[in-house]
Structure 1
């Protein structure tokens, strides 16, 4: 069942398959920990990696662009094209895919800088795959019922990860976001999950040394304002994001709870902002809550007295 769903909802990315593997944990480990590979191989007495017999040029160029982003912090098309020995138009196409998958973004000067996914640590828990496999049919059904793009996400520190996404059926729709990583503070799914945490945990998360190092730190006034917003999300039982993650994108998310009642994942609906009012209709919210109930039922079984 899960394989069929991946084939259906993931088919839109077949023509970009050479880059899709970059969202997998193993690729993130390679990108983030290359500087430690020599020591790791030496300790384990494993042979050094050898160049593949049949290298794929586009994959190699994309990986070299990732290395530049990681090591230089800023990459411009002309510089990258010269280093790769290819046309600027080719670099532009590769960078567009890296931006789409969250590994790069453009700053105000139009230079490319590391995206949120490039610094994200790999998820090392097997429960995320089980969650995705169980929730995927319900995420797909929700997309079919609403005609809008639907998402399953989890929070990892200050980041939100999209484990599964299914595009809606409407002509004007939000694209599939499977594998995307973004700041939890800006996304509806991230906000609804953060709203379940104690305020002390939020302060540690956004005013600690790690947040400062990652550029996620909030000032005293900013965190007080954010805590007020989280209290509102917690009371409402849902969170919203209106063009904070991307211009023209609006989303609403509700939490998925474990058996102890803790929010550990989120299901969301994302729409073009021109359909903002439709997103909060009684019918839409009811359909979203039904999908959440179905996921929790498959995860935990029927409630016991």
Structure 2
């Protein structure tokens, strides 16, 4: 028989109860949590957001919360392979790519209309794009996200972006039509000022995208004439990684996070800044 602590922390208790609910029920909405715990919707939303932040929960495009990586296989991972396995499969190719291009290399997966950075290997240069692990960005603005979106049928894209203004949605669809045949996408200051990136999809043995690799570069160092060599190196790394993904589940996990993340970092302070 467990005794309740003399000075219980209500917020901690609610968060732990939420973990039980996620484990036992599998799918939760903010209204369900508020009703079950007897708390305000705003409080329920904040609790769920913290669980997402710490990978105990993920959120899909329907605003439903599901068990996250720390509670078992993530939603949509196709039958048990974890995000840790995906990172392990791809990391050797990422390390080789970073060594060749001397720029930061990232692994990401699509989660509805967002992309989550699963792994990063930082550039050894003084001015570099920093580690982005855990960062969430809009898929239609990130290079890897654009490539992953380009593999989706138009009706699914229309559903995902039904809330976009008509003109912006039409522009996005045109851009994805251009990306689809060439197989890579660019992000030139689209997500963060001063950061440029090139991304391409990783596919399993059935040709289904399971993630994307990107090279992130300070815009001050990126010029269009670098694109051919960067693209060659990126494609080489994808060729190195894909044999290890032959049987990897086809669908990336669905989640959502809004954590801000710094991108450009200098290894040595300049004029009092970093």
Q: TM-score range by the shorter chain?
A: 0.5 to 0.7
Residue pairs, 1:98-109, within 5 angstroms: none
Q: Is the 8 Å Cα contact of residues 206 and 246 (structure 2) preserved in structure 1?
A: no
Gaps of 5+ in 1: 1-29, 45-66, 74-97, 104-115, 208-216
Deviation at 1:40, TM superposition (A): 3.7
Correspondence for 1:171: 126
Q: Is the 8 Å Cα contact of residues 278 and 284 (structure 1) preserved in structure 2?
A: no
Deviation at 1:277, TM superposition (A): 1.4
Change in Cα spacing, 1:279 to 1:262, as seen in structure 2 (3 Å) is farther
Deviation at 1:219, TM superposition (A): 1.7
Deviation at 1:38, TM superposition (A): 9.1
Number of equivalent positions? 197
Q: 1:152 aligns with which of 94, 97, 107?
A: 107
Pick 1 or 2: higher relative contact order, CA cutoff 8 A, min separation 6: 2
What per-residue deviation string (whole Å, max 9, x for no partner) do you get for residues 187-246 of structure 1? 111111000101110001111xxxxxxxxx202221111100001111221011111111
The structure with more helix, counted as a fraction of residues: 1
Change in Cα spacing, 1:134 to 1:35, as seen in structure 2 (3 Å) is closer
SS at match of 2:168: helix
Correspondence for 1:206: 161
Correspondence for 1:12: none
Residue 10 (structure 2) pairs with residue 34 (structure 1): no
Distance in 1 (CA, whole Å) between partners of 2:133 and 2:19 is: 32
Distance in 2 (CA, whole Å) between partners of 1:220 and 1:172 is: 39
What per-residue deviation string (whole Å, max 9, x for no partner) do you get for residues 272-297 of structure 1? 00122167432221111000000002
Change in Cα spacing, 1:242 to 1:293, as seen in structure 2 (3 Å) is same
Q: 1:262 aligns with which of 180, 184, 208?
A: 208
Correspondence for 2:149: 194
Distance in 2 (CA, whole Å) between partners of 1:219 and 1:127 is: 36
Correspondence for 1:86: none
Q: 1:70 aligns with which of 46, 50, 62?
A: 46
Deviation at 1:150, TM superposition (A): 0.1
Correspondence for 2:37: none
What per-residue deviation string (whole Å, max 9, x for no partner) do you get for residues 65-110 of structure 1? xx89937x9xxxxxxxxxxxxxxxxxxxxxxxx9xxx96xxxxxxx
Correspondence for 2:29: none
What per-residue deviation string (whole Å, max 9, x for no partner) do you get for residues 154-176 of structure 1? 00111101111100111110001
Residue pairs, 1:5-84, within 5 angstroms: 34=15, 37=18, 40=21, 70=46
Change in Cα spacing, 1:249 to 1:279, as seen in structure 2 (3 Å) is farther
Q: TM-score, normalised by structure 2?
A: 0.63
Residue 223 (structure 2) pairs with residue 277 (structure 1): yes
Correspondence for 2:6: none
Change in Cα spacing, 1:279 to 1:191, as seen in structure 2 (3 Å) is farther
Distance in 2 (CA, whole Å) between partners of 1:279 and 1:240 is: 14
Distance in 1 (CA, whole Å) between partners of 2:110 and 2:136 is: 10
SS at match of 1:173: strand
Deviation at 1:181, TM superposition (A): 1.2
Q: 1:294 aligns with which of 231, 236, 240?
A: 240
